[in-house]
Copies of this chain bind each other. A is one copy, B any other.
């Protein structure tokens, strides 16, 4: 029997792949994690935009607000560990991105961290190429910033600003061409690990090695990969990385982002945002700036404690989770979704933009609407029927699969309703 189906009959009950979904769920080694999140009968496939609420966060945040702020007040900067939260939370993120401790600091937005990372990397490259005092090699000036041409736009905007303010220029390069385009005038390449629009996974170790062969630095944006698949920063020798925590890390809306600076580069990290929190002795309140050692050098101003401690609590769900299991389930979820879409969605209505090859796929599936299907209206109809993904103009439906709480039954139901919706609206 062909898996390609129409939408007749499926609307009333479970589809032909429902039994398979149930079998996959029964074998899911991460299934028990689902109870750590607040979920309902919605199929939530937008965890790649805003992760679901971990069940323990409200209680922890209430304690932070009512006891730590309300009763201990200013004493909590020491007694409740507020002051050291950026590094402590950074060390909870570290194992999720393949980093040893002491290299990650949480705080600020991804955009702000992109700016810090690109400026710092350009400055390192400028010194490497002789722009600084005595450290230079004898090559040409490294004045070019290569930016992933498919990047989430904010990275490009901030890279432009970083280049403008350091005397560099920016050139957009497709990630697949990055290895070929990087060269002796490249200062830094800014690349996304997973493409936010298509879900394509870029080759972090390969691109890092190519950038290094050319003598340049690489900054990775992990927003769409961390928490969905293993990221091997240390093993790959990546220089710097940034990421958000409100997608697969479930930190809450707009929760603090993070910055990774490889340990060997920390002494050379010259921040464009040298706020008092990054000072070696912040409470000396001295007029002269002297940067802290270690990850704290990436801090700027007073950390946003309510959001940071909500994030810290949210990161607790990763205890005991193996990222290889996360990756295996992620691929199984997206494989199964693609199969269900082929089975349930009428031919010619959607086309996957997400690579079939596992090695090139993140944890989302992006479907381009075709055949007269209006993607915006299709997503509205999906949401009205309890299937939450999101829509990116002009015609892309995005579905994110979060291995800690997405079930195969969710996947089957989502594809089934998508079939109905694209059948009706097409």
Residues of chain A whose beta carbon lies under 8 Å from any beta carbon of chain B: 38, 40, 44, 46, 49-50, 52-53, 57-58, 61-62, 65-66, 69-71, 73-77, 82, 108-112, 115, 149, 152-154, 156-158, 160-161, 165-166, 172, 197, 244, 246, 252-257, 271-277, 279, 283-287, 289, 300-308, 310, 383, 388, 390, 392-393
Contact = CB atoms under 8 A, between A and B. Distances in A.
A173 to B, nearest CB: 13
B287 A74 contact: no
Contacts of A46: 73-74
A273 B158 contact: yes
Nearest to A38: B70
A3 B44 CA distance: 69
B273 A115 contact: yes
Given A165-B165, A304-B255, A276 B154 contact: yes
Contacts of A112: 108, 112, 273, 275, 300-301
Contact of A157 (B153, B160, B289, B392): B289
Which among A109, A152, A392 has the highest number of chain B CB atoms within 10 Å?
A109
B273 A305 contact: no
Given A109-B275, A111-B276, A157-B275, 19 more contacts: A46-B73, A46-B74, A50-B69, A53-B70, A58-B62, A61-B306, A69-B252, A74-B388, A108-B109, A112-B300, A112-B301, A115-B273, A152-B276, A152-B285, A156-B287, A161-B273, A254-B304, A255-B304, A306-B307
A192 to B, nearest CB: 13
Contacts of A57: 65
A110 B301 contact: yes
A44 B165 CA distance: 44
A46 B301 CA distance: 19
A244 B300 CA distance: 14
Contacts of A302: 109-110, 244, 246, 253-254
A65 B53 contact: yes
Nearest to A64: B253
Contacts of A165: 165-166, 272
A279 B157 contact: yes
B154 A71 contact: no
Nearest to A276: B154
A63 B227 CA distance: 26
A50 B66 contact: no
B109 A301 contact: yes
A384 to B, nearest CB: 11
Nearest to A304: B254
Given A46-B74, A252-B65, A153 B276 contact: yes
A70 B75 CA distance: 31
Contacts of A160: 274, 289
Contacts of A289: 153, 156-157, 160
Contacts of A285: 152-153, 197, 392-393
Contacts of A301: 108-112, 154, 254, 257
B111 A308 contact: no
A306 B255 contact: yes
Question: What are the 9 A-B residue pairs with the smallest beta carbon separation, nearest first?
Answer: A109-B301, A111-B275, A111-B301, A253-B305, A154-B276, A53-B70, A165-B165, A254-B304, A38-B70
Which among A40, A152, A301, A383 has the highest number of chain B CB atoms within 10 Å?
A301
Nearest to A109: B301
Contacts of A256: 304
A149 B153 CA distance: 39
A256 B306 CA distance: 11
A158 B111 contact: no
Contacts of A254: 82, 301-306, 308
